[in-house]
Structure 1
Amino acid sequence: MGVELIALHWIYVVFIFLIIGFMVMRRDTSLICIIGIFLLAITATGSLSQSVSSIFNSFIFAITELLSTILVISIIVAMSRILTSTGINDVMISPFSKLIRNASMAYWVIGILMMVISWFFWPSPAVALLGAVLLPVAIRVGLPALGVAVAMNLFGHGIALSGDFIIQAAPKLTADAAGLPVSEVIQASIPLVFTMGIVTTIVAFYFLKRDMKRGILKVESLEGNAMLGVTGEDSSLLTLNQKRFFALLIPVLFGLDVAAMSILKLQGGDATALIGGTSIFILILITLITHKNKGLEKTTTYLIDGFQFGFKVFGPVIPIAAFFYLGDSGFAKIIGEYLPQASQGIVNDLGVALAHVVPLSEQVAAITLTSVGAITGLDGSGFSGISLAGSVATLFATALGSGAATLTALGQISAIWVGGGTLVPWAIIPVAAICNVDVFELARRNLLPVTIGLIVTTIVAMFLM
């Protein structure tokens, strides 16, 4: 059955359930994650000093992995502060205010735009492109920031990334592991991706509207500016024509970024870096023109404000991210080579073990692939476990005599929705930061719609095998 499960695997499983339980109860999970890291380390090493050191090392590892995301969010926020302070933001969003007239329209328009851009450039740069411009529009028409975060997250890191029809990185990994042509996996994934997407986004929209009617979710009139902590205090320093010029220049610059991404085939981190560099250029240009002699000092002030915001938002997430990284390659780098030699990482070992203990049938195969995908996604990276999903799909399909492509696609979708993703703080963080919502609240808000979506998609897959 592959690697025999040892104490480390069971400790990880127990703490996964504890973290989920505390999140459902709306309690902070940082302390639980730190205890989990310590117990994993002391169980593996037997050394108290090394276990205590592993807590610190896990934080360093998590920060290193998340640093590019922290940096681009901080820069986007710094740029947004100068746009809001000078009133350029108001001029920029005025055309969208005429297009997006109510909260429902804001949810679907932002979500669909996020999905389309994410298909071509992946979700991270799409979050940066859309968040700063469309978030204030959505808030002004009555959609809470949490609703914007849900729409961007489900459509981008959910639908677009789980299908990955254009870039095809995800289906390539699963297809290679399953020994299938990429085109076959993509074709099989289309009905499953859209089933999952339609069910999840509609359910999430229903819960949003319900909670807005009940008054659980509210939109304050100044929430858009309060998010950035500034008002239009420097609005008088620019003329209306200057504001209009910058309001036109900024979309043009970001449009050139999109063109460059397409021509140079930039995706993921490279595309995000281009967006971040453009944002710094915009920040410097507007600050120098607005504040003239004080521009040098003001540029630094805005950058400091952005970094303060970034680390304030990411601070509570670092412990939980550190714990989840132990489920994959992070274990050896943080604690050491203490797993069995044949181990593929804690979460992958758990997925293999599950696949070997269940009986064979089409129904059980579909449920197992969804479970394997979800388990491997728990390390916080939807891509780390999809090769395993492809391998397990091949095992089941060989035994059943059919359904290899459908099972492979199902495992891919499950892994990416959970870990790539909408539930684990790998992709939730940038969306939550841009929208200034609590990352754990966003995860809780996504939990039920995503769970319902996975159940319905698994049932659909049973009929397609």
Structure 2
Amino acid sequence: MGVEITLIHWVYLLFIIGIIGFMLFRRDTTIVCIVGILSVAAFSTLSVSDSISSLFNSFIFAITELLPTILVISIIVAMSKILMKSGINEVMIAPFSKIIKNPATAYWTIGILMMIISFFFWPSPAVALIGAVLLPVAIRAGLPALGVAVAINLFGHGIALSGDFIIQAAPKLTADAAGIPVGDVVGASVPLVITMGLVTTVTAFFLLRRDMKLGKSFPTVSTETANEEADHSLLSSSVKRMLAILIPLIFLVDVLLMITLNLQGGDATALIGGTALLILILTTCLTHKKKGLEESTNYLVQGFQFGFKVFGPVIPIAAFFYLGDAGFYTIIGEYLPKSSEGIVNDLGVALATIVPLTPEVGAITLTGVGILTGLDGSGFSGISLAGSIAQLFSAAIGVSTATLTALGQVTAIWVGGGTIIPWALIPAAAICGVDPFELARRNLLPVAIGLIITTIVAMFLL
């Protein structure tokens, strides 16, 4: 399982360290990423013109990859704006006000609902469903928008996605790579997912509550979706009540369709996005009547402005990190060794081959491999590698293959699936109107503590 580490790998790794350092010191990383793309391309192609072209191509690749998320977020925001403007949202969230009365109940209620829905449909469509309905009531209860984003993010993209107990796409990938049954990985991941989930969500809530008591500010990039001024003269009370009941029912039908048609991931997100678009048009026409056609376009434009405003700063960073995976071949070309599985996967393999073989080091190494391969922001691209390395380690040191595999899976998805990589957690950040970099920083300490404790627990389970 040897891999050739070239100068391209070292240049890429150097810029990864630099970018993480800039993030920790709250400095903008856009220029660093652009220089990183240019440097990797230059060392790969040894051509000035090809390097400059690769820089532009990397942006095109990143936008193409992010476009489905940009679209669904823009449409959901546009729909939220008309619901706010018409006053329908006030009627719709009234029942939740009886449950969500303070920041604590808001955090845990939103988090648990997000987790349950994400278990069945993955987090992307769940973000749209939960965020659009519960963000305003949570803010009224005193939980900052950043706190809502943290809850949505950790419970959905963290707990639900890393375990993936229902859909089982993640454990299938890792189990196949490790050569063991899927059930073994699912069973072994249960204590690790529980440990990681409890430690991370409790730590995040404690830090959030501490900062709220200290009166710290929680900046937002936009409060449009949360603070739209309602005009109660646009619709009668009876029409608002009818739409407040009808809209959740329509989304409930979506949920039933997801179950019956087995829609998951991107397909489920597309269904939610299309439904939100139809609700936007229907509600706008009822609200603005003769001006409904023009206002529908206006709300859509505002939604797209919001979407690209939020995603804009992230595109250069996503472009750089996509180079670490299959994006390298599309953006730059066939300049890596033939045995390469992508830069970050190669680095993960190299890490696994230079460490001494003991159960404790094996657990730490699988966590390291998970972190490295999660840096591309997908969470799923490197988990097959984690399964392969777990198989090698377990054979060499005689420990549980399933536990090591599950540890690599949990780590890679928590890091890359959308809790500390800024472009991966954009859906939650955008729906809540917060800076994705600020959300990543807020999640960093809880996730780091969770990974340390989960790795220690895995050592005892080996």
Q: What RMSD, in angstroms, separates the aligned Cα atoms of the two structures?
A: 1.3
Deviations 1:353-379 (A, max 9, x none): 000000011100000000001101111
Match in the other structure for 1:126? 126
Query: For 1:437 and 1:356, how far apart are their aligned partners in 2?
Result: 40
Match in the other structure for 1:139? 139
SS in 2 for 1:344: coil
Q: Is the 8 A contact 1:366 1:461 kept in 2?
A: yes
Query: For 1:287 and 1:209, how far apart are their aligned partners in 2?
Result: 38
Structure 1 218/450 Cα, relative in aligned 2: closer, same or farther at 3 Å? closer
Is 1:255 aligned to residue 252 of structure 2?
yes
State which of 436, 439, 460 in structure 2 corresponds to 1:442.
Answer: 439
**Post-superposition offset of 1:28:** 1.0
Output aligned runs, 1:8-87, within 5 Å: 8-87=8-87
SS in 2 for 1:198: helix
Q: Is the 8 A contact 1:154 1:200 kept in 2?
A: yes
Match in the other structure for 1:367? 364
Q: Is the 8 A contact 1:376 1:385 kept in 2?
A: yes
**Post-superposition offset of 1:218:** 5.0
Match in the other structure for 2:270? 273
Query: For 1:135 and 1:224, how far apart are their aligned partners in 2?
Result: 13
Is 1:318 aligned to residue 315 of structure 2?
yes
Match in the other structure for 2:107? 107
**Post-superposition offset of 1:53:** 1.1
**Post-superposition offset of 1:152:** 0.5
**Post-superposition offset of 1:252:** 0.1
Match in the other structure for 1:243? 240
Query: For 1:367 and 1:212, how far apart are their aligned partners in 2?
Result: 34
2:125 aligned partner, one-letter code: P
1:297 aligned partner, one-letter code: E
Match in the other structure for 2:193? 193
Deviations 1:298-331 (A, max 9, x none): 1100100000000000000100000010000000
**Post-superposition offset of 1:219:** 8.9
1:161 aligned partner, one-letter code: L
Query: For 1:426 and 1:96, how far apart are their aligned partners in 2?
Result: 30
SS in 2 for 1:440: helix
**Post-superposition offset of 1:447:** 0.6
Query: For 1:47 and 1:107, how far apart are their aligned partners in 2?
Result: 52
Deviations 1:258-295 (A, max 9, x none): 00000000000000000001101101111111111111
2:311 aligned partner, one-letter code: F
Is 1:231 aligned to residue 244 of structure 2?
no
Structure 1 63/369 Cα, relative in aligned 2: closer, same or farther at 3 Å? same
2:268 aligned partner, one-letter code: A
Query: For 2:352 and 2:99, how far apart are their aligned partners in 1?
Result: 49
1:136 aligned partner, one-letter code: P
Q: Is the 8 A contact 1:144 1:217 kept in 2?
A: no
Deviations 1:377-413 (A, max 9, x none): 1111110000000000000000112210000000000
Q: Is the 8 A contact 2:394 2:401 kept in 1?
A: yes
Query: For 1:146 and 1:76, how far apart are their aligned partners in 2?
Result: 18
Q: Name structure 2 gaps, 5 residues minimum.
A: none
Q: Is the 8 A contact 2:79 2:277 kept in 1?
A: yes
Query: For 1:52 and 1:100, how far apart are their aligned partners in 2?
Result: 52
2:343 aligned partner, one-letter code: I
**Post-superposition offset of 1:230:** 3.0
Query: For 2:10 and 2:200, how far apart are their aligned partners in 1?
Result: 31
Query: For 2:217 and 2:2, how far apart are their aligned partners in 1?
Result: 48
Match in the other structure for 1:344? 341
**Post-superposition offset of 1:4:** 1.7
Query: For 1:344 and 1:205, how far apart are their aligned partners in 2?
Result: 38
Query: For 1:219 and 1:22, how far apart are their aligned partners in 2?
Result: 19
Q: Is the 8 A contact 1:381 1:426 kept in 2?
A: no
Q: Is the 8 A contact 1:225 1:231 kept in 2?
A: no
Query: For 1:61 and 1:444, how far apart are their aligned partners in 2?
Result: 26
SS in 2 for 1:68: helix
Q: Is the 8 A contact 2:41 2:51 kept in 1?
A: yes
Q: Is the 8 A contact 2:77 2:225 kept in 1?
A: no
Q: Is the 8 A contact 1:164 1:170 kept in 2?
A: yes
Q: Is the 8 A contact 1:42 1:51 kept in 2?
A: yes
**Post-superposition offset of 1:224:** 9.6
SS in 2 for 1:315: helix
Match in the other structure for 1:396? 393
**Post-superposition offset of 1:228:** 5.3
**Post-superposition offset of 1:217:** 3.2
Is 1:421 aligned to residue 418 of structure 2?
yes
SS in 2 for 1:316: helix
Match in the other structure for 2:287? 290
Query: For 2:133 and 2:4, how far apart are their aligned partners in 1?
Result: 51
Structure 1 336/250 Cα, relative in aligned 2: closer, same or farther at 3 Å? same
1:293 aligned partner, one-letter code: K
Query: For 2:222 and 2:5, how far apart are their aligned partners in 1?
Result: 49
**Post-superposition offset of 1:425:** 3.2
